[in-house]
Amino acid sequence: MILLRVWLTEKPYRIFREGIGRARRRFRATTNEERTAFHLWSMDFESNYDIAASAQFIHTHNFTRVALQFPDHLLKDSTRVVTALRKRLQSLKKCDATGSGHETDVGLFVMADTAYGSCCVDEVGASHINADCVIHYGHTCFSPTTTLPAFFVFGKASICVADCVESMSKYALANSKPIMVLFGLEYAHSMQQIKEALLESSMSCRFDAKPEVHFANVPSSVMFPSKDIKKINGLQEQASGASGTTCSIGGLTWKLPEGQSMDDYLLFWIGLDDSAFANVVLTFNACEIVRYDANEKQMVTDLFQQRRILKRRYYLVERAKDANIVGILVGTLGVAGYLHIINQMMELITGAGKKAYTLVMGRPNPAKLANFPECDVFLYVSCAQTALLDSKEYLAPVITPFEAMIAFNRGSQWTGAYVMEFRDLINLPEMEVIDQEEARFSFLKGGYVEDFENQENVEEEREVLSLVNATEKALQLRNNSNALMKGNARSGAEFLANRSYQGLNMPSENNSPEPYLIGRRGRASGYEDEKNKQ
Amino acid sequence: MVNFTVDELRRIMDRKHNIRNMSVIAHVDHGKSTLTDSLVAAAGIIAQEVAGDVRMTDTRQDEAERGITIKSTGISLYYEMTEGDLKNFKGEREGNEFLINLIDSPGHVDFSSEVTAALRITDGALVVVDCVEGVCVQTETVLRQALGERVKPVLAVNKMDRCFLELNLDAEEAYLTFQRVVESANVIMATYEDALLGDVQVYPEKGTVAFSAGLHGWGFTITNFAKVYASKFGVDEAKMMSRLWGENFFDSATKKWTKKHTGTSTCKRGFVMFCYEPIKQIIQLCMNDQKDKLWPKLQQLGLKLKSEEKELTGKALMKRVMQSWLPANRALLEMMIFHLPSPASAQKYRVDNLYEGPLDDPYAHAIRNCDPDGPLMLYVSKMIPASDRGRFYAFGRVFSGKVSTGLKVRIMGPNYVPGKQKDLYVKSVQRTVIWMGKKQETVEDVPCGNTVAMVGLDHFITKNATLTNEKEVDAHPIRAMKFSVSPVVSVAVTSKVTSDLPKLIEGLKRLAKSDPMVVCTMSETGEHIISAAGELHLEICLKDLKDDFMNGAEISISDPIVSFRETVFERSCRTVMSKSPNKHNRLYVEARPMEDGLAEAIDDEKIGPGVDPRNRSKILSEEFGWDKDLARKIWCFGPEGKGPNMVIDTCKGVQYLNEIKDSVVAGFETASKSGPMAEENMRGVCFEICDVVLHADAIHRGGGQIIPTARRVFCAAMLTAKPRLLEPVYLVEIQAPEQALGDIYSVVNQKRGHVFEEIQRPGTPLYNIKAYLPVIESFRFNESLRAQTGGQAFPQLVFDHWDMVPSDPLEPGTPAAARVAEIRRKKGLKEQMMPLSEFEDRL
């Protein structure tokens, strides 16, 4: 993480250097699509970065330490944003200063290179500088925060309204079902225009049948933390009680009339083929979806690749069913309820007779995960838009909490319904455990395999014989050639015992305990004893 | 008019010396099911008149329609012999009643897994051979399988009626034909010299060969005739038997037996004179309706016909007369009872083949002695769909102890490892049932030596399992069956409606259970795959899935998927190197093809992870010319830890090498599972690790660094060693008349196959053609062959070997490159394969 610190009172910038190279590398790695999005950003700087609204937000809530969170590709604009924001705040303050007497400095901090996805609010990073609010720039997943209020600046991507409306009405006329328009948040600014234009065109339309087009809304760009995880869902339930159901995904919300479900709609997505879109495709996989690409000015109807993802996820779930050891990867430290879901997953996994280990390692990559060869499957707890990690590079599949629910709950079935956001899982009604008197059938092995913990009488036997088993293992001749074969060990210790190399041997002669030594204190970047030397 | 009751049956089940478990095996269309019918008729389950037409054991509708057997079916028969008949019986027996548990098996090569399952639970085999077509491929295959399982064979030369009615063979010619059949069967059996099993060859003069006409329900052994003539001539029965076969001639003028043909017209071979001619005579009389001559003849034979039967004419009359004169069931059953072992005697020598555990433990003893009071040892060889939708009977053989209704059993699945809890269940048997063709009878318990079907275990057994008593925790399982065919043809199935997926899953589960060979798996892209032994097998499986197991939900079926293998042609042109993600570790590897036959040896588990390293290096150095030291440095096999690829360590004096072995093995596992070209399994590739540079800190050479690097370097090594694709190839055997040969050649060539053998069957106008045919071209081969030859040629296809696709897949435009692109497209990969630079690094 880099903290770029800019005090209002003319102090020089101070940059924590160590992360910059990493950020640069990652910038180079950003995809072309992201870069085109970035070019669009330069339209009109002030309005693009929503300087006025964000200054107003800071000012009205009297925040004094504000963290500005930039994704890597926007980092180069950060100083200009800070300057502009500072100017605006000062002018606001002047207006105010005449009224009230007290005067405080507003500290603006630039945060970049977040530990997890840049779409989530990095609350941990912000708390390093005791920030009392975060202003988040760029693409966001709108995951709720736990402690800090956040203001989101989506940016404004250009779109040809006329063309968009034309293709939308064309599509609407070709289909009889009502259409629900969803969009990338960077296009939120022009939605009003599109709505009006569509209305106009339908007025002038000669056809009698008017297309039924609904738009999703962006409720607000401000988010306040909710302490109680139940409350978020509580609110939703209330809304559903009033008139139909409220759906929300990635910051968009819309209402469905009573008795209708999303399957009755066609989805029209305006925006890029990014993680937000993938999220929509997976969640509403039963709907027909088309995408309007604003850059190319064309409709994309072939979503074969996205459908393919769903099948692949199905395969991963089947793989997960065969797993014995599950590594829970903590992929967020900010999204509300993440601790709750981790605990819930732990319970689920142990309940299924498997072993769970929790791993915190920042953004996962294949090399990092390969350091844990004992894990048969990884469970990635993160915000909805960074949740899907799938590449053949990974040695073990990485699944989402929802997939884990299917894989580890006996009797639950893959029906095609898919939930991305883990907070939707927290209040999910306890799945009815159908006590099927049948062993589990594994499609990877092509036969029945049993997680034997589920059989009671064998369990007793295990306890009685545990000592015998332990000694037996110690005496066993090992077949080293397939030591790292997956799926044999039931716990990390057992896995280690099967490895051909188990680390250095402890010297056995010296049995007396080592004397206590006082270790170093501080962080790895500079321990306390090292600081003294400088 | 069932002439025996369940109680009677159950009573004999306890007499282990009076039981015969046997299977009927043969080439397709040699008349197994028909012959079985005539046996069943003897037990009185079906009427004597329709025997030969009903095909009692073809219980499925499609079996009846297609006229082939698809599933093996068990049937229990009761047979009572007279004291006089048994006077020559040497073995142990208790009383004159015998129980014969018979399993009829399919003859088509696609279903030979059913034969394997049948052989496992039987002790004897009735090998049926068409007297005209002779010993065919499938006869040979099943015979080898039977002997491999230590199942004792007896021979039935079937379709005798063809000799008399169709071919009108001269008696001497007919004899030669029969003799050839017997000899060619003996040639195969002679290769299985087994001290414990004894001489397994068959001899007509010893009564181990029967001659039958299944369709007409008659048959005989030399014994039958010998008995008659022995009393007539007043000679010893055994002596008479030896005279009725082989080089023994009788001159009716001089009434003398000679060893050579004397040249006079009255001198005839014993068999011709006393067996063949009388039958021929009777048949001719019947067919020509010469009833005036027939009646006295019958009188002479001591046969009495009912008055309404006397009204019959032609074929019907012939059938009736022959059935009452030489009933097939009597000949066959007596042959079985006399010459096939009882469970008590068979299990003595079969135990070595069956039991996995030490041969001196109580379980081995119980099996050896067929001990009804010993611990239960039961092998479930197949699952049979029950009338109750979605449920299955577990069908198997009790080797020792007793299985009873309500008994709690320990189910050891195929992956069970003694002492571990894997693949192990303890459940109770809800019901024990004995199988009688189309109907089942519930019995209280079934003792050892018998076949049994059990209800209530189908939720825990996929295909086969070993059952024992609940408390017998030390028991080892009974060895898994080894199939002669492997599932090479696959399709992907998906439900048409997404929400029907649970139904599909349920259906696939049932399908996997219903057939010993079909494999239901899943591809990495999330598609359900069904793999079967051949096109017909696949067709039957899909039909079952659609009609019976899916509850009406619709499915869509993809085009057939054929899996390929990736291999190398030469040693790598240079040592390739890959760096770890942190650039601190380097692996240097070369790839080379394995020696000829080595991959097959690994497939057969002659060399592999399970073999003692000392033996392994001995075989490698002696048979494959390996350096002895090198043979000791094999790190691993793969994929799955046992596949036909390996990693050898050839580095010298490298530090920390032992630490990264596990990581390299893990990387090799993924690399050998999906090669660099089309992500297919590798085959016959040997990787040599030439050098390794590792970081001094353990954390920087951990799994995270080494596993991906190992995988990359193996792929790179492969790409530099002239990679090639291997495609599966069928061995095709076709039997057809001469005029069809031209068409057969053209069809085979059209499908990229080539004929490598063409032999005329001696004494027939038929030709035997053997050809190799790539599996990928084989779809619809059957139909086009039949269409081209007007139904005269009927091919049998068995997977035979992997064949290299000759062109270079790395060169654009070649057939191999096109094939790679096609596979990649099907798998949803980028059509362009990854370049070498993706895998290899430079210093």
pLDDT the model gives residue B2? 47
Interface contact flag, A450 B522, Cβ < 8 Å:
no
B704, A367: Cβ pair inside 8 Å? Answer: yes
Distance from CA of B306 to the nearest CA of A (A): 57
Is the CB of residue B519 less than 8 Å from the CB of residue B487?
yes
Cβ within 8 Å of B, A 298-327:
308, 310-315, 318
Helix (H) or strand (E) holding B377: strand B377-385
**Strands, E assignment, B470-581:** 489-495, 519-522, 528-532, 555-557, 561-562, 565-568, 576-579
- Whether residue A393 has pLDDT greater than 50: yes
Q: d(Cα B644, Cα A87) in Å, to the nearest integer?
A: 71
C-beta atoms of A416 and B527 within 8 A: no
**Minimal CA separation from B459 to chain A, in Å:** 5
Q: Which pLDDT belongs to residue B48? A: 47
Nearest chain B residue to A287 by CA distance is: B498
User: Is A484 close to B424, i.e. CB distance below 8 A?
Assistant: no
All residues of chain B having their beta carbon less than 8 Å from the beta carbon of residue A447 are 413-415, 462-463, 512
Rounded Cα gap, residues B670 and A20, in angstroms? 35
* Per-window interface: B 406-465 vs A, CB < 8 A: 413-415, 419, 421-426, 459-463
**Residue A371 C-alpha, separation from nearest chain B C-alpha, in angstroms:** 4
Q: Mark yes or no for CB contact B665/A367 under 8 Å.
A: no
Chain B closest CA to A268's CA: distance in Å?
22
Nearest residue to B569 (alpha-carbon basis) of B592, B551, B586, B543? B592
The residue ranges of DSSP E strands in B569-656, in sequence order, are 576-579, 586-593, 634-638, 645-649
Chain B CB contacts of A440 under 8 Å are: none
Amino acid B150 reads R
* Chain B interface mutation, best of A410, A443, A460, A480, highest count of B Cβ atoms under 10 Å: A443
- Do the Cβ atoms of B460 and A439 come within 8 Å? yes
Q: What is the ipTM of this complex?
A: 0.81
Q: What's the pLDDT at A206?
A: 53
| Facing B524 at nearest CB: one of A315, A368, A414 | A315
Residue A218 has pLDDT above 70, yes or no: yes
Other CB atoms closer than 10 Å to residue B246's CB: what's the count?
16
pLDDT digits (tens, 9 = 90+) for A238-295: 444 445 677 777 778 887 777 777 777 888 888 887 788 888 888 887 778 888 887 7
* Phi and psi torsions of B795, nearest 5°: -85, 150
pLDDT of residue A144: 79
Q: What is the pLDDT of residue B523?
A: 84
**Would you give the end-to-end CA distance of chain A in angstroms?**
24
| Residue (of A6, A223, A251, A16) closest to A133 by Cα position | A223
Q: b vs e for B490-517, b when ≥16 Cβ sit within 10 Å of the residue's Cβ?
A: bbbbbbeeeebbebbbbbbbbbbbbbbb
**How close, in Å, is residue A69 to chain B by CA atoms?**
29
Q: pLDDT tens across A16-55, in order? A: 433 444 444 444 444 444 444 444 444 567 777 888 888 8
Among chain A residues, the shortest Cα distance to B460 is held by A439
pLDDT tens digits along A50-71: 888 888 888 888 888 888 888 8
Whether residue B524 lies within 8 A of chain A, CB to CB, comes out as yes
In chain A, residues with a C-beta closer than 8 Å to the C-beta of B511 are none
- The distance of A465 to chain B (nearest Cα, Å) reads 10
Give B-chain residues touching A448 at CB under 8 angstroms: 413, 423, 459-462
The least confident of A98-102, A349-353, B351-355 is: A98-102
Distance CA A84, CA A47 (A): 11
Among the partner-chain residues A367, A446, A461, the one whose CB lies closest to the CB of B519 is A446
How far apart (Å, rounded) are the C-alpha atoms in residues B592 and B397? 47
- Is A76 a residue whose pLDDT tops 70? yes
| Shortest Cα distance, chain A CAs vs residue B647, angstroms | 10
Give the sign of the dihedral formed by CA A319, CA A324, CA A328, CA A329: negative
> What gap in Å lies between CA B100 and CA B102, rounded to an integer?
6
Nearest-angstrom CA–CA distance, B565 and B569 = 13
Of B424, B459, B828, the CB nearest to A308: B828
Amino acid at A220: S
What is the structure's pLDDT at B52? 53
Give per-residue pLDDT as tens, A291-314. Answer: 888 777 777 777 677 677 888 888
Q: Residue A95 contacts by C-beta under 8 Å, 6 or more apart in sequence?
A: none
pLDDT at residue A11 above 60?
no
What pLDDT score does A303 carry? 67
Cα distance between residue B408 and residue B393, in whole Å: 16
Q: Would you call B502 and A450 a contact, using CB atoms and an 8 Å cutoff? A: no
Contact status of A500 with chain B (Cβ, < 8 Å): yes
**Which residue of B473, B523, B654, B707 to mutate against A (max A Cβ within 10 Å)?**
B707
pLDDT for A148: 84
Mean pLDDT of the A136-141 span: 84
What are the residues whose beta carbons fall under 8 Å from the beta carbon of B755, sequence distance 6 or more? B744, B745, B748, B769, B770, B771
H-helix or E-strand spanning residue B10 = helix B6-13
For A148-170, b where at least 16 C-beta lie within 10 A, e where not — what string?
Answer: bbbbbbbbbbebebeebbebbbe
Residue type at A448 in one-letter notation:
Y
Which comes out higher in pLDDT, residue A320 or A18? A320
Contacts B583 to A, Cβ<8 Å: none
The pLDDT value recorded for residue B422 is 76
Q: What is the DSSP string of A119-154?
A: TS--HHHHHHTT-SEEEEES----PPPSSS-EEEE-
Q: Which of B424, B512, B525 sits opposite A315 (nearest CB)?
A: B525
- How big is chain A, counted in residues? 534
By the CB < 8 Å criterion, does A370 face chain B? Answer: yes
Measured distance CA(B101)–CA(B57) in Å, rounded: 13
Q: A477 pLDDT band (50/70/90 cuts)?
A: very low
B742: enclosing H helix or E strand: helix B741-750
The residue of A306, A388, A448 whose CB has the most chain B CBs within 10 angstroms, and thus the best one to mutate to test that interface, is: A448
| CA-closest candidate to residue B381, choices B365, B366, B392 | B392
Q: What is the pLDDT of residue B592?
A: 92
User: Shortest CB distance from A443 goes to which of B520, B634, B703?
Assistant: B520
B426 Cα to chain A: minimum distance (Å) = 8
pLDDT digits (tens, 9 = 90+) for A102-112: 556 778 888 87
Low-confidence ranges of chain B (pLDDT < 70): 1-4, 42-59, 436-439, 763
C-alpha span between A350 and B7 (Å, rounded): 52
CB pairs below 8 Å between A and B: how many? 150
